[in-house]
Amino acid sequence: MSFSISGKTAIVTGGANGIGLAIGRHFADKGANVMFADMDEARLTKELGKKQEAENIRYFAGDLRERLTLANLLSATIDAFDQVDILVNASRQVMPSDPLNPEDDAVEVLLQQNLMTALRLSQMVAKRMIKQSEGREGATAGTIVNLSSIAARRTHPDLLAYSVSSAALDQMTRSLAVALAPHRIRVNAVAFGSVMSASLKDMLRENRGYRADIEDHTPLGRIASPSELAEAVQYLACDSAAFMTGQIMTVDGGRTLLDPVAAPAH
């Protein structure tokens, strides 16, 4: 089997910042065609404007919570690269929530952002993967990789909404894996601990002692770089993982092996 993704076409959501940007760049460096998607057009232009002239890089700006935007994203990808082989649902949001406030709508907001956006895009992309695989028996029709969090299994009082949306995304991964297996589409997820994402950088700037707290609760004693997560995503997307589906791969430096009373995951 091969770890290569060269020549394949990937859509990477959340592609303007942090983890999504790192995954998209990593895929492009490995020879994949990449459509970076995000609602932050200014950031996309800043990060990718000059590189879009490359044959294998494009970007798409829009609110991915809107169905029409998702349809336009898929159309733009097909127009640019003729097909789509990999979907990486890396668009995610972290926000605090008050577990005792019935007026707090954080759960609804994060279910929309972290779950429904990924579900709807996965459904649209899966239909395209099925269509373009007609007549190609035996080969994998496509792969979907969701970005989840260990917060699905370990929570923090201030992260009720994030934990609920992460757990829902994990179950969506398993359910879609079963539903799409007959169509030769694999669906997996990467659940990560503390990775130097855009949101974590903001938190570390606001609370200098937070880094030490994270490192103390991580057996490997450090925060992962986004590139380390990108390698794991590449594995799930490549042919070497051809018999893996419905799995939640944990990349957390050993964090979930310790006592659950720990710093929240981001």
- Note the pLDDT of residue 53: 61
Residue 4 lies in a domain: no
Residue 54 lies in a domain: yes
pLDDT (tens digit per residue) in 136-177: 877 789 999 999 999 999 878 888 999 999 999 999 999 999
Residue 1 lies in a domain: no
Q: What are phi and psi of 236, to 5 degrees?
A: -65, -25
Residue 152 lies in a domain: yes
Contacts of 211 (CB under 8 A, 6+ apart): 204, 223
- Nearest by Cα to 190 from 6, 14, 4, 1: 14
DSSP secondary structure letters along 50-70: TGGGSTTEEEEES-TTSHHHH
Q: Per DSSP, what are the bridge partners of residue 58?
A: 35
Residue 194 lies in a domain: yes
Residue 101 lies in a domain: yes
User: How far does Cα 155 stand from its chain's mean position?
Assistant: 20
State which residues of the chain have pLDDT below 70. 1, 51-53, 259-266
Residue 172 lies in a domain: yes
Residue 2 lies in a domain: no
Residue 57 Cα distances to 12, 15, 139, 195, 236, angstroms: 11, 12, 25, 24, 21
Domain CATH for 197: 3.40.50.720
Q: Which domain holds residue 214?
A: 9-257
Q: What does pTM read for this prediction?
A: 0.92
The two three-digit tokens of residue 206, written as one number: 């606001």
Q: How many domains does the chain have?
A: 1
pLDDT (tens digit per residue) in 171-202: 999 999 999 999 999 999 999 988 887 777 77
Contact yes or no for 38/44 (Cβ under 8 A): yes
**Beta strand residue intervals within 129-199, DSSP E:** 142-149, 185-192
